[in-house]
Structure 1
Amino acid sequence: MIRPLSRTALVLDIVGAFVLFALTVPVSLAFYAPGNLSPIVSDAVGIGILFLAGTLQCGAVAVGRLAPGISLVVAWAGAIAQMAAGLGPLPINLAILGVLYATAAWGSTKVFWAGLGSAFVGGVLASVQIFFVNGLAPAGSIVSSIATITLVAVMSILALGAPWLGGFGWRMVLRWRATREAQTLAEAATAEEQERVRIARDMHDIVAHSLAVIIAQSDGARYAAASDPAIATEALGTVSQTARAALSDVRMLLTQLRHRQGDGPQPTIADLDQLFQQVQQAGLEPRVTVDPTPPGEPPAAVQLAVYRIMQEALTNAIRHGAGGVVDVRLSWLADRVEIEVRNAVTDADARPSGGGGHGIVGMRERAQLIGGTLCAEREGVDFVVRGRLPIGSPAEGATGGEE
């Protein structure tokens, strides 16, 4: 019944209604010559009812935006009092136009349609009031009289319906604004969620791999310290180097988050050799096959995806591998690059086929972001990661199918 409205808007509505009352009531009093104000009541009663009707109708304008339904009821009360006293259309009735506008612009669904019905009924009643109560029935034949009454009724309905249509147009504008704001908020929420996913994926790729290498090297250094201190020293050097590289990557990621205008340097396929060396230092022997080799310079997005997928697959091999060897195959074809990382796992490895934790999800997301596909599943005693990434647009890569 009552809408939220700022105090400033309410004060402006009340002041506007008071100004409307001050302008239209004196004009309405002067609209008819003395003695002809109403054919039903005396001039004194007519003046009193005119003031009452003007107060109700202008008061309805004052609360039009605050409570459109109440405004419509109050306006009808003033109009009924006016018609019951035999008063024809008066300048105070301009307030009704504002009320009808308010019902269409800000009213609930019921009030919205009630305003439209009021415009129709009010137009008919106005024509009846003019011709049958105020004694202005048209002269002539019955057909011409009916035509005249009908024409006046239609014109009255159109006059009352025009502000309602204006309010309906403003209602559509408000609805469009609300829809646009909701869409903007949804897009912002989606962008934030995508950013959180990207941050989580990058943090996982950087930190998880580095920690896996550090853990493997630390364990090796602890076991080798008793028999060969030199090996322990070499392992600790690798730990230090890996930790520094991880710290550098994390700092770069934080810089990207703080300054969104640049992505900064990202790993490329040229960094794969260093990645393979880290895996080898962690105690896992990578057997790498690149056939065919890249035909030129692949897109940066493809190089980054290949590096991150390879990084996560090798990290999983360090964590869960059983044979000490991991087979890596890269096939750089004309339209795509195919990746396969295969390593033996123990029977106690509980990773589900094709599923897994954040790492497998992250690999799959990286492939999908550039239009590729990826599957990670157990095949007998091996765990295999296969990916197919398009070298071109995502649409071109999507036509390549899925393994």
Structure 2
Amino acid sequence: MFGKVRAWSRRHEKLAGVLRVAPLATLCAILVVPYANVSPTATTVGPYLGVAGYVALSAALLWPLLWRDRAVASFAVIALISFGQWLAGVNPLPANLAVLVALWAVAYRCSFRWSLAAGLVTELGVFLALSRWETPTLGMFFSASIFTVTVWLTGLYASTRRRYLEGLEERAERAERERDQQARMAAAAERARIARELHDVVAHNVSVMVVQADGAGYALDTDPEQAREAVRAISKTGRAALAEMRRLVGVLREDEQADTDYTPQPGLGQLEDLVRGSAVPARLQVGGAPVELPEGQQLAVYRIVQEALTNALKHGGPGVRALVEIDYSGPELVVRVTDDGRGAAAPRSADGHGLIGMRERVGMYGGAVSAEPLRGGGFEVLARLPMVKAA
């Protein structure tokens, strides 16, 4: 669309240039008319100019037409020369038609106020010329005015068409910029979402691996079987993290084939597996009748539970247990994850991206989330999301 508009604009500008130059070329040809045409005759009213005067006056009238970007100044100079010619009583020359060419240029390039003023000045010039060199009649003045008004209206039409095409070109450029900007914003939003996904995957799985590795180190001498179980858990967690990270990083590849098969995003159906496979002993409790939610909202709930269990593992201390509650019975979906760990006594972590990520996910659906220690020990993550049924 933008290319077509630009092509139309170029063709229109080229046509306008032809309309501007063609009369000038025609009038320049007048300079080579036979000398007999400028010889004194019995009907000559004004003084005889001779060839030199004819050429000089014609050149003076035609030269301002070359001022392409100064239409008003060109018209003013030509009109003043013509007025001086009228005052001196010099007969009209074919080059006086340059007034009409300049009038067209003003109507084409300038505002309506300037074009109207130029039209009125041209009409005044027609009246003065008829009153000096002819016996003016209403029909003669009307005929000359029709010709002048036609030139003026042609310039106005060309100007309107030019402005219309310029407006189309500007709107096409703006639409193209907005489209590119929306594409960049969508790409940035997708990359931010993937970055949050990567954080959740890395934070959860690496935390599990660190805790299991610490446990294996302590149990290596006293309980080799438990150490082997911890190493196997580390291996399993590492493979799962690597597979999910490959899936997420694959989305960022620009050369990825369109038919690539990606693993579906986890949702509420995978919560039980998440709780059962967590390094923190936890159980899942569901209240109310489950509702089919959009995939994005299901993913948000899954990641909130995953992050809460990770925090319980990192800060809850040894022997911590967790309870995951999903409640569908109210107007909102309530997600509560509590643990019986150290709570307020747990050391603060410098990495606060987990809570920020939970708030961003819940905020996308108009919900709210809180994370705070409980009285008497333990920690609670509470999220409330409006329930939107999947389409």
TM over 0.5: yes
2:85 match: 85
Structure 2 residues without counterparts, runs of 5 or longer: 1-9, 87-91
What is the match of residue 325 of structure 2?
A: 329
Distance change (3 Å), C-alpha of 1:305 and 1:85:
same
Out of 378, 385, 388, the position equivalent to 1:388 is 385
The residue that corresponds to 1:126 in the other structure is 122
Q: 1:76 to 1:216 in 2, by over 3 A?
A: farther
Give 1:376's aligned amino acid: S
C-alpha deviation, 1:358, in angstroms:
2.8
Distance of aligned partners of 1:125 and 1:15 in 2 relative to their CA distance in 1, 3 Å threshold: closer
What letter corresponds to residue 85 of structure 1 in structure 2? Answer: Q
Partner Cα distance (2:269, 2:387) in 1: 19
The one-letter code matched in structure 1 to 2:266 is P
Match for 2:344 among 321, 343, 346? 346
Q: Indicate conservation of the 8 Å contact 2:289/2:328, yes or no.
A: yes
- How far has the Cα of 1:306 moved from its partner? 2.1
Residue 67 of structure 2 is aligned to residue 60 of structure 1: yes
Distance 1:363 1:15, change over 3 A: same
> Aligned equivalents of 2:174 and 2:300: distance in 1?
37
Give 1:80 shift.
Answer: 4.0
CA distance in 2, matches of 1:180, 1:40: 63
Q: What is the distance in 1 between the residues matched to 2:184 and 2:148? A: 53
2:274 equivalent in structure 1: 275
Q: Give distance in 2, aligned partners of 1:298 and 1:217.
A: 34
CA distance in structure 2 between the partners assigned to 1:227 and 1:40 by the alignment:
129
Aligned pairs for 1:166-185 (under 5 A) are 166-185=161-180
- Spell out, residue by residue over 1:189-229, the C-alpha distance to the aligned partner (whole angstroms, 9 max, x if none): 32122122112122112222111111111122222223212
- State the TM-score, normalizing by the size of structure 1: 0.71
Q: Deviations over 1:15-45 (max 9, x none)?
A: 9566553234336987xx7469995883643
For residue 301 of structure 1, what is the aligned residue in structure 2?
Answer: 296
Pairs within 5 Å for 1:39-78: 42=49, 44=51, 45-57=53-65, 59-61=66-68, 68=69, 70=70, 72-74=72-74, 76-78=76-78
Shift of 1:373: 0.9
Write the letter of the residue equivalent to 1:42.
L
Hey, what's the Cα distance between the residues in 2 that align with 1:338 and 1:228? 41
TM-score by length of 2: 0.73
1:94 aligns with 2:101: yes
Q: Deviations over 1:352-403 (max 9, x none)?
A: 9xxx93323322333344x341312325443423132424269xxxxxxxxx
State the number of aligned residues: 353
- Post-superposition Cα deviations, 1:247-273, rounded to whole Å, max 9, x if no partner, equal 111111122333485764221333223
Match of 2:29 in 1: 26
Q: Deviations over 1:36-69 (max 9, x none)?
A: 9995883643443333433331x234xxxxxx4x
SS at the partner of 1:123?
helix
Distance in 1 (CA, whole Å) between partners of 2:198 and 2:135 is 86
Instruction: Please say if 1:310 is aligned against 2:321.
Output: no
Could you say what secondary structure the match of 1:324 adopts? coil
Query: What RMSD over aligned residues (CA atoms) do the two structures have, in Å?
Result: 4.1
Q: Which has the higher contact order (CA 8 A, sep 6+)?
A: 2
Contact 1:268-1:304 at 8 Å conserved across structures: yes
* SS of match in other structure, 1:327: strand
* Conservation of the 8 A alpha-carbon contact between 1:268 and 1:300: yes
Residues 49 and 82 in structure 1, CA contact (< 8 A), matched pair in contact too? no
Q: 1:330/1:153 Cα in 2 relative to 1: closer, same or farther (>3 Å)?
A: same
Is the contact between residue 208 and residue 315 of structure 1 (CA under 8 Å) also seen in structure 2?
yes
